[in-house]
Chains A and B, each alone.
Chain A
Amino acid sequence: MTDTSAASKAAAQSALPIVYVVDDDESIRESLVDLFRSIQMDAVSFATTTAFLDTADLRRPGCILLDVRLPGLSGLDFQLHLERIGSRMPIVFMTGFGDIPMSVRAMKAGAVDFLTKPFRDQDILDAVGVAIEKDMARRREMAASDAVALLVDTLTPREREVMAAVVKGLMNKQIAYDLGISEITVKLHRGNVMRKMQVRSVADLVRKAEMLEGR
C-alpha cells in the first residue's frame, strides 16, 4: 500500500459520516452501534465524555448521540463544553426519563432531538439522519466559503476595496470618486476581481461575498 493510496482511502473514509455514541451503559452502547452497523453506518461508542474528547475525530462529518445522565460532566454541560471548544457537531440527546425542562434547555442550546429511552429504532435513525444531514450541509457551506476565502486571498488590497464597493451596488463613477482613482482604472480592477473570483455576473459576486459574511 502506498502513502498516496492510504491517504486517499483515509480521505474517502473521513468523508463518510459517523455516529459517536456516548453513554455510560454498555448494553445501550452495544445495541446502538449494532443498529447503525445494520444500516452500514459507521458508529463508535464511548463510556465517558473524556474518552470521547480524547479519541473522537471531530473533523469527520457525523453526529453525537449523547446520554443526558453521565457520570462526571452531565450531557448538558458537555454540550456547552463542545460549543466552547469550537465543535459544531450536532447532538441528539438520549434520556432515561422525559424531563421537560431538561429537554427545553438542550433544544435551546442547539440539540437536534431529544429521545426518551426506550426508543423506536426508526426514531433514532431519523434523528441521526437529520443530524448528519445538518452537519454535512454545514460542512458543505464551510467548504464553499473556504474556497471563496482562498479566492479573496489572491486579490490585491485595491481590488478588495473595489470588490467591496461593487458588492455594495455602487456605480463605477462613484467608486472612482470614492477611491480617488480614474473610472478606467476602476474598470480594470473590476475585471480582475471578476476573473480572480471566478464569477461572470455581479449577482454571483454578491452571493460569494455573502458566503464570507460571519467569518
Chain B
Amino acid sequence: MGSSVLLKLINRRGKPSHEITLGLIALVLGAAVFYVDTFTEIQSAIAVLYVIVLLLAAEMLTRIGTTLLAVICAALTLFAYLYSHGLGEDVPAQLRFAVSLAAITITCALILRNETARAGLIEANLHLRDSETRFRYIFEHSRIALWERDYSAVRAFLMSLKAEGVSDLKDYYRTNPGIIATCTGLIRTIASNDAALELLGHVAGDLPSRTMRRYIAPDDDTFLDLMNAIFRGERHFEGKGNLVAENGETRLVIMSMSFPEDPAAFNRVVVGMVDITQREMMQKALREAQDELTRASRAATVGTLSASLAHELNQPLGAIVVNAQTLLRWLNREPPDLAAVRRSAERIIRDSQRASEIIHNTRSMLSHTDRTPEYVDLETLIEETRALMEHDFQRDMVSFEVDPAEKPPAVKAIRIELQQVLINLVTNAIQAMQETAIDQRKILISLARKDDIFVTLSVRDFGPGISEEAMAKLFTPFFTTKPAGMGMGLSICRSTLEARGGQLTAGNHPEGGAIFEMIIPIEDDHDRH
C-alpha cells in the first residue's frame, strides 16, 4: 500500500544513486530553508528558496509528487509566516509571504508544463521510431522489389541540360545517345530489399551500391521515358522495361516511382518493381499454344477439304482427259470432223479454267493472309459446306436439311472463319449421331434474323443431346466427350465468333438432340479487334 503510493509519487527515470543524492540534498535544503524561515529573524523572502528544493526534487518525482511537494512547501511557508508574524498587520512580511507563495506556485506550474512537454516529445519520438521500423519492415520484406535511389545527381544533370536550352529530351537523345549512359551512371542505389536483390540476382547482403548502368538493358526505351519524366518535372513514373540481371538474364519488370516536390528530396526516391518475366512468358506460351491449336483445327479442316478437293478436281480433270482423247478421235477421222474438234477443244478450255478456279478458291480458303471481311451469303455458305461434307454425310448416312425460313441479309464477316465454325459444328453433329438409328440421322440447319444486329445460324442434330455435366464444361478447352477428341473445337469456334462480336451458344432441343447457335453480327465488328 505504502509502496504503491510511493510509486505514484516517485518517477524513476535516472540512476537510483543519483536520485537518492538529489533527494537528500533537496531534503536537507528544505529543512534548512524551513529552519531559517521560521526561527530566524532575517527580514527576507527566504521561502523563495523552496523553489530550488522543488527543482531538485522534480527530477525524481511524478506530477502528483511535484504538486504535493509544492503544497508542502507552501504549507511550511504559511506555517513559518504564522509562527513568526502571527495574524498581525505586517505589510512587508505579507508581501514577502506572497512573493514566496507565488514563486513556489509558478515554479510548480513550470515544472509540470515542462514535464508534459517532455512526455509529449518522448511519445512522438516513440511513434517515429515505430513508423520507421514499420517502414523498414515493409521495405525489407515486401515481395515487390524496392530500391531507395539517389536521383539528385541525375536530376541536376537533366536540369542543367534544360538550362542549356534543351526543350525536348527525346529529341536531344536522338543526336546525343550518350546521355543514357551518363544518366545511368549518375543514379546510385542507397538501399534495396531482398526482392530487389533477388530480381537482379544478387546474394542477400551484397548491397548493390553501384550505379544502375550495369542493369539497364541497352535497348530499353523505358529508361529514356523515365529520364524524360524527371526532365519534365512529372511527379510519377510508371513503365515496363527490361533489366539485365547479374547472371545476364533479361527480366521484364513493371516499375513505379513517385518523385518528391522538393528537389532536395531527390536523394531518396523509392522505386518499386514487379518481375513480370514469367507472366509475360506464360502469356506468350499461351498465345503460341492457341495459334498452334488454331492451326491444328485448320489442318483438320484441310483434311476435310482435301478429300473434297480430290473429288472436285477429279471431275474437270477427268473430263479434260476424255475430251482430249475424243478430240484426237475426231481429228483422226477421214476426213477429220473439225467442228467436233472445236467443240472438244472448247470444253477442254472451259474445264481447265474450272479446275484452276477450284484450286484458286481452295488456296484462298486456306491462305493465312486472306482475312478480309466480305459480305457472306449464309445460304451459299451452307450449300458450300454441304458440298464439302457430302462425303461425310454419305459415309455416316446422315441427311443434311436446310430449313427454308426467311432469307436473312448477308453478313459482313470473314468467310473462312464462319465456314470453319460451321464445319466444326456439323462434324460434331455427325459424330453425335453415331448411335442414332440410321433413318433418324438428320442435321437440320436453320437461318433466321435474330434482331437488328444479329443473324442466327443453328445446327441441330438428332443425337442424344448434351448431358448436364457436359453442358457446364462444353466450351472449356481440352474438354471432350469423344474418345480421340482434343477438346479444342468448340472452344476455338466460340473464340472465333466472339472475336468478331458474335456468340456461340449450345443447348438441347425440347424434342431431343443438341442445338448449337452461331450468332453472327450483320455488320462487321472487325475494327474493334
Contact = CB atoms under 8 A, between A and B. Distances in A.
Interface of A: 25, 27-28, 30-32, 34-35, 37-39, 69, 71, 74, 94, 96-97, 117-121, 124
A105 to B, nearest CB: 14
Contact of B317 (A34, A37, A39, A117): A117
Contacts of B351: 27, 31
A62 B320 CA distance: 25
Nearest to B354: A27
A38 B314 contact: no
A31 B323 contact: yes
B329 A27 contact: no
Contact of A31 (B330, B340, B347): B347
A118 B330 contact: no
Interface string B262-285: 000000000000000000000000
Interface of B: 310-311, 314-323, 325-326, 329-330, 333, 337, 340, 343-344, 347, 350-351, 354, 390-391, 394
Contacts of A39: 329
B319 A121 contact: no
A118 B320 contact: yes
Contacts of B325: 35, 120-121
B314 A96 contact: yes
A32 B320 CA distance: 10
Given A97-B311, A97-B314, A31 B394 contact: no
A31 B310 contact: no
23 contacts: A27-B319, A27-B351, A27-B354, A28-B315, A28-B318, A28-B319, A30-B319, A30-B347, A31-B347, A32-B322, A34-B322, A34-B343, A34-B347, A38-B333, A69-B394, A74-B394, A96-B311, A96-B314, A96-B318, A97-B310, A117-B314, A118-B320, A119-B318
A15 B317 CA distance: 34
Given A69-B394, A96-B315, A35 B320 contact: no
A57 B201 CA distance: 91
List the 9 shortest-distance A-B pairs measured between CB atoms, nearest first.
A117-B318, A27-B319, A121-B325, A31-B322, A118-B318, A118-B321, A96-B314, A38-B329, A25-B315
A120 B310 CA distance: 18
Contact of A121 (B329, B333, B350, B354): B329
Give the interface centre of A28, A38, A96 by most chain B CB atoms within 10 Å. A38
B314 A124 contact: no
B340 A118 contact: no
Nearest to B399: A72
Q: Is the interface of B mostly helix, strand, loop or mixed?
A: helix
Given A27-B350, A96-B315, A121-B329, A35 B310 contact: no
Contact of A28 (B322, B329, B340, B344): B322
B315 A27 contact: yes
B314 A118 contact: yes
B319 A25 contact: yes
A118 B310 CA distance: 11
A31 B330 CA distance: 13
A34 B320 contact: no
Given A27-B319, A34-B343, A35-B325, 9 more contacts: A27-B316, A27-B354, A30-B347, A34-B323, A38-B330, A39-B329, A69-B394, A121-B322, A121-B325
A60 to B, nearest CB: 23
Give the interface centre of A35, A37, A94 by most chain B CB atoms within 10 Å. A35
A117 B323 contact: no
A94 B319 CA distance: 12
A39 B326 CA distance: 9
B321 to A, nearest CB: 4
A117 B326 contact: no
B309 to A, nearest CB: 11
A35 B314 contact: no
B391 A69 contact: yes
Contacts of B321: 118-121
A71 B337 CA distance: 36
A30 B316 CA distance: 11
Give the interface centre of A27, A32, A34, A74 by most chain B CB atoms within 10 Å. A27
Contacts of A27: 315-316, 319, 347, 350-351, 354
B394 A118 contact: no
Contacts of B318: 28, 31, 94, 96, 117-119
A27 B350 CA distance: 9
A124 B329 CA distance: 14
A34 B311 contact: no
Contacts of A31: 318-320, 322-323, 326, 347, 351
A39 B321 CA distance: 17
Contacts of A30: 319, 347
A25 B318 CA distance: 10
A32 B330 CA distance: 14
Contacts of B330: 38
A28 B343 CA distance: 14
Contacts of A37: 340
A22 to B, nearest CB: 14
Give the interface centre of A32, A96, A119, A120 by most chain B CB atoms within 10 Å. A96
Contacts of B337: 38
Contacts of B340: 34, 37-38
Given A27-B351, A31-B347, A117 B329 contact: no
A25 B333 CA distance: 28
A49 to B, nearest CB: 14
Given A30-B347, A38-B330, A71 B390 contact: yes
Given A69-B394, A96-B310, A97-B310, A35 B322 contact: yes
A100 B154 CA distance: 82
A212 to B, nearest CB: 42
Contact of B326 (A25, A35, A69, A74): A35
